[in-house]
Amino acid sequence: MSKLSHINAKGEAHMVDVSPKEISTRTAVVRARVLMQAATIKLIKAGSAKKGDVLATARIAGIMAAKKTPDLIPLCHPLAISKVTVDFTLAKKHIDVEAAVKVEGKTGVEMEAMTACAIACLTLYDMVKGVDRGITVTDMRLVEKTGGKSGTYRAK
């Protein structure tokens, strides 16, 4: 196992110095699944949720969350994010959520994509919890990252 970059020689947590790294285009894609009742999916599709447009609200929440990641995750670097997308695929009893983040920078955007996806999922829950308390968020994971010294990663 390789050495953890956020732990210094004294065993203390620290922010990694990225100044020697090369600037490159870096992307990350994260997916999760939100399980819910079929009736809840129908409500979302029909646009009849009492709180308003469920998918639009969750999309905006995810985008905002990506930009706030360094405020939430202590050792993340503030980044000038180039692009964030949050997309939804509705099925009979679940919604698949995909967040993608892009930056031209010296460090990756995996945490920004994770944060965007997580907050989009939580917003889906918040928007319809009044009609479906059994909603479950599951299977969040990095599915792809590109750029940087370590290159491309794609989940199997």
Catalytic pick from 87, 96, 126, 132?
126
132 catalytic, yes or no? no
* Helix, strand, coil in percent for the chain, rounding step 5: 30, 30, 40
Q: Which of 134, 136, 152 is nearest to 144 (CA)?
A: 152
Q: Which of 70, 69, 60 is nearest to 126 (CA)?
A: 60
- Catalytically active residues are 126
